[in-house]
Amino acid sequence: MKKVACEIEGGTPIEVTASRLVIAGWAGRDSVEVEHHIRELEAIGVRRPSTVPCFYEVTPELLTTAESIEVIGAHSSGEVEVVLIQTEADGLLVGLGSDHTDRKVEGYDVAVSKQMCAKPLGRALWRYSEVAAHWDALIARSWRIDSTGERIRYQEGTLARLMHPEPLIWRAFGAMSMIPETVLFCGTQPVLGPLTPAVAYVLELHDPILGRSLWHRYSVDALAHTE
């Protein structure tokens, strides 16, 4: 079980308790885009999945709102994801995170790679009820920051490209809703170019209907690693 301090937009503090942390993979609605993402990963040695979407349960201890994470070596990368958080008192909440993954380990075991890195989560959250009616209009973006400090657009797309929360939850858990203290990372957007490590990532979930955004920035501290 992991507890992290967050805030529902508008200033309401909340302590998120995560007893289950599940990562969805290959969760696109368009089979062509899913195939594109599979080929991105095949290009770095990742075997294609037997079924899509896939779900990987990892330890909740990986969840973090810290502004930096530590990784082994220089072969990991992040990817922007919408995060669904089921709470007891506040219902279903929406957050912004990164399924930061060790790409070297991913080449031989995807499930193990998901356990190798912390999973960043922004502190600010929205209530799902506020965005459910225009979910597909939400835009997820990320930027990678290279060693010179340059910010480079890395991903961008509407949530219409990914499975809607309700069928995704059903596929993951076989139920219409998640039990409290469950956290679900909902899949990512294709990258603009190759999968690339970076010294930091900036994430945004933009709501063009209500004119607001969730933001999170985290840096990546690559620890020295020798064979």
- Residue 27 structure tokens: 């969760």
The pLDDT of residue 31 is 79
Q: Taking residues 104-131, report their average pLDDT.
A: 93
Instruction: Tell me which of 3.40.710.10, 3.90.850.10, 3.40.50.2000, 3.30.365.10 is the CATH number of domain 2-223.
Output: 3.90.850.10
Q: What are the structural domain ranges in the chain?
A: 2-223
pLDDT at 227 over 90: no
pLDDT tens for 20-58 read 999 998 888 887 877 877 777 777 777 777 788 999 999
pLDDT at 10 over 70: yes
The pLDDT of residue 136 is 98
Burial tier of 8 (Cβ tally within 10 Å: 0-12, 13-18, 19+): middle
Cα(100)–Cα(172) distance, integer angstroms: 20
The pTM of the full predicted model, rounded to 2 decimals, is: 0.93
The pLDDT of residue 11 is 86
Listed in sequence order, the residues at least 6 apart from 137 whose beta carbon sits closer than 8 Å to its beta carbon are 158, 159, 160, 207, 208, 209
Burial tier of 72 (Cβ tally within 10 Å: 0-12, 13-18, 19+): middle
The pLDDT of residue 91 is 97
